Chain A
Amino acid sequence: MNTSKEEFLSAFIDDESGEFERRRLLDELKKDDALGQTLSRYAFIGETMRASKGQPMGQGLLSRIQEELADEPAYAPDNVVAMPARANTTAAPSRVQAYRWFGMGMAATVAAVAVGGLLFFNQPTAPDAQMAAALPATVPVNAAAPAPTMVADADTRIQQVGRVDPQTRDILKQYVAQHVKYASTTVIAPSIRAASYAND
């Protein structure tokens, strides 16, 4: 991400950008994961700083952005989970998959050559290696992009937390509480998670 984008983002966060710029940034956010991460980080820092001054948290920027993005056709709300499509293990690899593997192979080759070159010419490598280690080694972002529209299976219905009936809500709360109490031996902040869920 270049400097101008960061400045643009900063202006946006400070509510100093115009309508055209705001629209452009929203378009960018849909395409640029790094920009989205930076936005989250900026907002997180800003909210934290405001919280330390006794100001309310969590009601501002990110919520507004979520609302605006919700109007975009390609956006899927993050509190609704699509029922994943059943994996077809017998299907032949698609062209997209082939390109993905080819791309990954090329990326690995380029990375190996680059690292080898760096080692050979005695360039400092530690920061790069550390950054690489910190990044999740999953498939490329573009290749892993989910379907833009969440389509439920015919025999299932997806409901938002706020739309479930009271009985279902009570049952889910009970289950979440029991999961936190008995099963969450490995999660970092189980009760915070439960409290947040209950507050939804």
Chain B
Amino acid sequence: MLTIKYTVSIAVLAGVLAWSTPSMANEAGDLLAKMRSAVHTLDYSGTLVYSQGNELSNYQISHTLENGTEKESVVRLAQGASASDAESFSLAKLQQVQPQMEAVYALDLGGQEFVANRNCQVVVARPRDKMRYLQRYCIEPDTGMLLKYSLVDRSHNTVEQLMFTALEIAVPAQAALQPAPPVANSTPSAAIPPATDWVFASLPAGFQQVQDLRQEGVNGQPPIRQLILSDGMTSVSVFIAPPGAPSMLDSIGISSGAMNIYATEVAQHQVTLVGEVPALTLQRISENLQYAR
């Protein structure tokens, strides 16, 4: 009798696990997609705290959608000084969920939290390898508004986090009818065809080159190449300065919150990688960068 009980128990457990895992992942993905739409379509205003390492800063943010056009205002609440604008900051820079990201991140539903007087549902994008950070969101289920966000490294340290401390949300009448507008990224100074002279022998799983830009040099300096790689959730810029450009002299590695910078030399070019990924990832990418000419 006891054997039968255990057998039934294990069968039930297996069934529940098999059924619940994809379901929770779908629910997490749906909530993530809803969030990425909500930050475009909702009218919201509030105060948020942003922490990076042991530094904290406070921002006042408002976002409205008027006749299909997003308007935002972000003010950094500087301590002991007059407030200054942070014009380019935008939660609306979030893109829609990319299909390839599920190959390198597992999406999970977490518990519920209470942030800025609102209940929110935790969604975790857990990397399947050590080449990226864990991303933890807390999203209000009804509106899809992001209330809290953090990036966590492999040692379970939170390298950056953002949290609303006060928030007011209004759903615009047309919000439900309009799809999320495209990401309003600035137009690059010059987009050129994919590089054939610089190639990557291999890239960390999930990463692919998505852009190849040429940034004009400042004060007569030669142009800088910027190759952009993405895994669907995070990105890496590879800056390539030609020989003769002002260089940094040394190979360096710098970390600022989630952002890492790694500089080295490849084929006599100064190569600098910048991205919100672990330093190991930047180094791995640089090791596979080859000059094909």
A115 to B12, CA, bound (A): 11
Judge whether A191 and B86 touch: CB under 8 Å. yes
Judge whether B49 and A44 touch: CB under 8 Å. yes
B62 within 8 A of A: no
A148 within 8 A of B: no
The answer, among A63, A182, A197, for a CB contact under 8 Å with B256, is A197
Q: How far is the CB of A26 from chain B (nearest CB, A)?
A: 15
Chain B residue nearest in CB terms to A141: B156
Judge whether A133 and B24 touch: CB under 8 Å. yes
Chain B residue nearest in CB terms to A184: B235
Judge whether B88 and A193 touch: CB under 8 Å. no
A197 to B9, CA, bound (A): 54
The answer, among A79, A84, A129, for a CB contact under 8 Å with B255, is A79
B143 within 8 A of A: no
Taking chain A's interface residues, is the majority helix, strand, or loop, or is none over half, making it mixed?
helix
A37 to B153, CA, bound (A): 13
Judge whether A185 and B149 touch: CB under 8 Å. no
**Segment touching A, from B63-71, B89-97, B168-176, B194-202:** B89-97
Q: How far is the CB of B45 from chain A (nearest CB, A)?
A: 16
B276 within 8 A of A: yes
With A51-B56, A186-B232, A196-B55 known as contacts, the answer to whether A84 contacts B279 (CB < 8 A) is yes
A10 within 8 A of B: no
A40 to B51, CA, bound (A): 10
- Residue pairs across A and B with Cβ atoms less than 8 A apart, 29 shown, are A37-B156, A40-B158, A47-B49, A51-B77, A52-B47, A57-B57, A79-B53, A130-B109, A130-B112, A131-B111, A133-B110, A133-B122, A134-B111, A138-B134, A141-B155, A157-B252, A159-B252, A165-B249, A172-B248, A174-B218, A179-B237, A181-B186, A182-B188, A182-B211, A182-B237, A183-B237, A190-B89, A192-B52, A192-B57
Residues of chain A touching chain B, judged by Cβ–Cβ distance below 8 Å, are 33, 36-37, 40, 44, 47-48, 51-52, 56-58, 62-63, 65-66, 78-84, 112, 115-117, 119-120, 127, 129-131, 133-134, 136-139, 141, 144-146, 155-161, 164-165, 167-168, 171-172, 174-176, 178-193, 195-197, 199-200
